[in-house]
């Protein structure tokens, strides 16, 4: 039995802390019908959770928002943002969120292992009963989405968030 803290608050805190510290962006959970990100405007990255549970985290943002974030971080115009810079930001954001999430989720004594962030292409995988989605927005109401997927990872949400 893995000792852990509530699942959703751990994720929300991790995303909030990461975005505020790294890109000075405040986010809140979106209420009501969630905004969708059209496939042609989607940028997303994935990160494997390897131990003590197995699963995958995904961070999805509109490409325009990613450009804006990247421009702010590097101090350049959005038009000057390269694909490499933008994708590196996305991966590093997810990497930091993933580590913070696991730290906040698990008890202090519990070791964990995560993989390296991986930029993905195409549509996001379909969600199922073993997927948790957080629909988030920034102060300009631009959407960001976090996903946690995988039976043993998501099982931790089912005995803590209900």
Partner 1 sequence: MKRIIIADDSATARMFIKRCLQIIGFGDADIIEAEDGKQALEAAKEEATDLLLTDLNMPVMDGETLVKWVKASPKLCEMPVIVITSAGNPAKEAQLLELGAHRVINKPVSPPVMMDALADFLD
Contacts to partner 1 by CB under 8 A:
17-18, 21-22, 73-74, 84-85, 88-89, 91-92, 95-96, 98-100, 102-103, 106, 108-116
Half-sphere exposure of 123 (CA within 13 A, CB side): 6
What would the two tokens of residue 97 be?
């969120």
Q: Are 105 and 115 in contact (CB under 8 A)?
A: no
Residue 59: which of 128, 8, 11 has the closest Cα? 11
Alpha-carbon torsion, ordered 103, 18, 96, 93, to 10 deg: 150
Closest contact distance (angstroms) between CB of 39 and partner 1 is 25
Q: Toward partner 1, which CB reaches closer, 12 or 106?
A: 106
CB atoms within 10 A of CB 56: 18
Closest contact distance (angstroms) between CB of 147 and partner 1 is 18
Q: Toward partner 1, which CB reaches closer, 18 or 46?
A: 18
Q: Toward partner 1, which CB reaches closer, 55 or 98?
A: 98
Closest contact distance (angstroms) between CB of 157 and partner 1 is 20
Q: Round to the nearest angstrom and report the end-to-end CA distance of the chain.
A: 18
Closest contact distance (angstroms) between CB of 99 and partner 1 is 3
Residue 144: which of 83, 70, 73, 58 has the closest Cα? 58
Q: Toward partner 1, which CB reaches closer, 52 or 125?
A: 52
Closest contact distance (angstroms) between CB of 62 and partner 1 is 19
Q: Toward partner 1, which CB reaches closer, 20 or 29?
A: 20
């Amino acid at each position: 039995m893995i000792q852990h803290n509530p699942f959703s608050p751990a994720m929300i805190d991790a995303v909030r802390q990461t975005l505020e510290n790294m890109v000075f962006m405040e986010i809140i959970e979106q209420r009501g019908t969630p905004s969708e990100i059209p496939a042609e405007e989607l940028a997303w990255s994935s990160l494997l959770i390897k131990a003590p549970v197995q699963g995958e985290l995904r961070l999805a943002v509109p490409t325009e928002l990613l450009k804006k974030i990247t421009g702010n971080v590097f101090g350049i115009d959005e038009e000057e943002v390269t694909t490499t810079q933008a994708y590196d930001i996305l991966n590093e954001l997810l990497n930091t969120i993933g580590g913070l999430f696991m730290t906040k989720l698990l008890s202090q004594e519990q070791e964990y292992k995560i993989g390296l962030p991986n930029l993905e292409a195409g549509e996001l995988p379909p969600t199922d009963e073993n997927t948790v989605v957080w629909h988030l927005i920034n102060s300009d109401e631009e959407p960001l989405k976090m996903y946690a997927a995988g039976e043993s990872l998501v099982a931790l949400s089912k005995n803590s968030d209900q």
